[in-house]
Amino acid sequence: MEEVTGDYVLPVMGELSVASIDTAICDGGADPDLDTKPTTPKRVRGRIEAILDAAKVLGHRTGENPARWQGRLKEVLPAAGKVKAAQNFAALPYDGIPAFMAELRDRQGIAARALELTVLTACRTSEVINATWAEIEFEAKVWTIPAARMKAQKEHRVCHSPTQL
């Protein structure tokens, strides 16, 4: 995700102080192409909004946040879904899963193992990426994801078969 901010914001805002970022810049100066990447502008704007909110709290800027969506940019810019609908990837047919998993197991590297764990546990990508060894009880074959990392803010326990760990 860091590349989203670096690719689109750095060239436009990289040398600016947070106090000098204004409406003109936030209205499109750092927005990527809405036609080809409809969700990227939303991510970029959200990051700019969060940074400017933090800057205000820390006393580095005053006034309204020019990147705020509600009550500001929402009134002058189209929503990402109105410009071009996001295209989802096709789901893997159920009968294709065994072959996919076999091919995945033949691949080397941490990314292949992370994807394998994601498929086997049906957990969110971020939960797998941010997993720590301390969360996994190998003897009990249980992975306990802390509430702080769960969308519902409730601890989640994932049981594993002998082949998963």
User: With contact defined as beta carbons under 8 Å apart, do 102 and 80 qualify?
Assistant: no
Cα separation, 84 vs 138, in Å, equals 46
Cα separation, 111 vs 114, in Å, equals 5
Taking the model in full, what pTM does it have? 0.52
More confident of the two residues 65 and 135: 135
User: With contact defined as beta carbons under 8 Å apart, do 39 and 80 qualify?
Assistant: yes
Backbone angles phi, psi at 143, to 5 degrees: -110, 120
Task: With a cut of 80, say whether residue 61 has pLDDT above it.
Answer: yes
Cα separation, 165 vs 157, in Å, equals 15
Write out pLDDT tens, residues 69-123: 776 666 666 665 566 666 778 999 999 999 999 999 999 999 999 999 999 999 9
User: With contact defined as beta carbons under 8 Å apart, do 61 and 55 qualify?
Assistant: yes
